[in-house]
Amino acid sequence: MSSYNKKTKKAISVLSGGLDSTVATSFYKDNYDIHAITFDYGQRSVESEIHASKKICEKLGFKHSVIALPWLSNLGNSALTSEEKLPLLSMDELDDKELTEDSASKVWVPGRNIVFTAIATSYAEAEDADIIIVGWDKEEANTFPDNSKEFLESFNDMIYIGTKKTVEIKAPAIDLNKKEIVELGKKVDAPLELSYSCYTDNKKHCGICESCLRRKRAFIESEIADPTEYLE
């Protein structure tokens, strides 16, 4: 398969290789010539994220680039980019507002989506792309404000004013929870089996971090077969 589809419209995708960004990118795969970018910001799971993103792009015929942001891991004290212990929850605690907000604060990377989306905007302008694809969703927005609809609308307002070319951020999962994202992924034939959602860097998902638990629950609730290999 060609590494770069020849379609009329172009898109830049912010692709971590996770469930959300994989489904969001796949939503546009038939209509856009997509250049996916994956960020290396010193996160624990960087090798697995890059590997997953590369495999997804190879399967779907997208151009893929990795952008290193080594300085980002030096800001804050996120458990994703440091030796701090990852917060652990049970499946029954995933909807506990107080516990999940505490968990989110421990893995928060300062300004991460602002930085990623700003860089994607530069790529979009330079490559004459029409849209930027992101995996922001309703479930993540409960504890991560940079996944919210308000954040999406505000960023779109900013780039409308601040760019020479009309570029729009598209987040097809912005009103969806994880269960609905899995269902959308099935509908658009996203390569869910290639995606990687774990906070750790293993060949298999750890099965116990919050990201793994949300992934597990989504497949269980959607009643769609989970292709993920978990250590636990």
Q: Residues 181-230: pLDDT tens digits? A: 999 999 999 999 999 999 999 889 999 999 999 999 999 999 999 999 99
Is there a binding annotation on residue 17?
Answer: yes
- Residue 96 pLDDT > 90: yes
Kindly indicate the confidence band of residue 6, based on its pLDDT and cuts at 50, 70 and 90.
low
Q: What domains are there in the chain, each with its CATH number?
A: 9-222 (3.40.50.620)
- Residue 151 pLDDT > 80: yes
Average pLDDT, the chain: 95
Query: What does the pLDDT read at residue 2?
Result: 42
pLDDT, one tens digit per residue, over 13-72 is: 999 999 999 999 999 999 999 999 999 999 999 999 999 999 999 999 999 999 999 999
Is there a binding annotation on residue 15?
Answer: yes
- Residue 5 pLDDT > 70: no
CA-closest candidate to residue 100, choices 113, 109, 89: 89
Is there a binding annotation on residue 25?
Answer: yes
Tokens 């038939």 -> residue: 30
Alpha-carbon gap, residue 110 to 124, rounded angstroms: 23
Alpha-carbon gap, residue 31 to 6, rounded angstroms: 10
Is there a binding annotation on residue 48?
Answer: no
Share above pLDDT 70 across residues of the chain, in percent, rounded to a whole number: 97
Alpha-carbon gap, residue 210 to 142, rounded angstroms: 14
User: What is the 3-class SS of the chain, one letter each residue?
Assistant: CCCCCCCCEEEEEECCCCHHHHHHHHHCCCCEEEEEEEEECCCCCHHHHHHHHHHHHHHHCCEEEEEECHHHHHCCCCCCCCCCCCCECCHHHCCCHHHHHHHHHHHCCCCHHHHHHHHHHHHHHHCCCCEEECCCCHHHHCCCHHHCHHHHHHHHHHHHHHCCCCCEEECCCCCCCHHHHHHHHHHCCCCHHHCCCCCCCCCCECCCEHHHHHHHHHHHHHCCCCCCCECC
Is there a binding annotation on residue 16?
Answer: yes
Average pLDDT of the segment spanning 99-105: 96
Is there a binding annotation on residue 20?
Answer: yes
Query: What does the pLDDT read at residue 138?
Result: 97
Average pLDDT of the segment spanning 121-134: 98
Is there a binding annotation on residue 22?
Answer: yes
CA 194 to chain centre: 13
Query: What does the pLDDT read at residue 8?
Result: 79
Alpha-carbon gap, residue 85 to 64, rounded angstroms: 31
Average pLDDT of the segment spanning 158-183: 97
CB atoms within 10 A of CB 35: 21
Is there a binding annotation on residue 57?
Answer: no
- Residue 4 pLDDT > 70: no
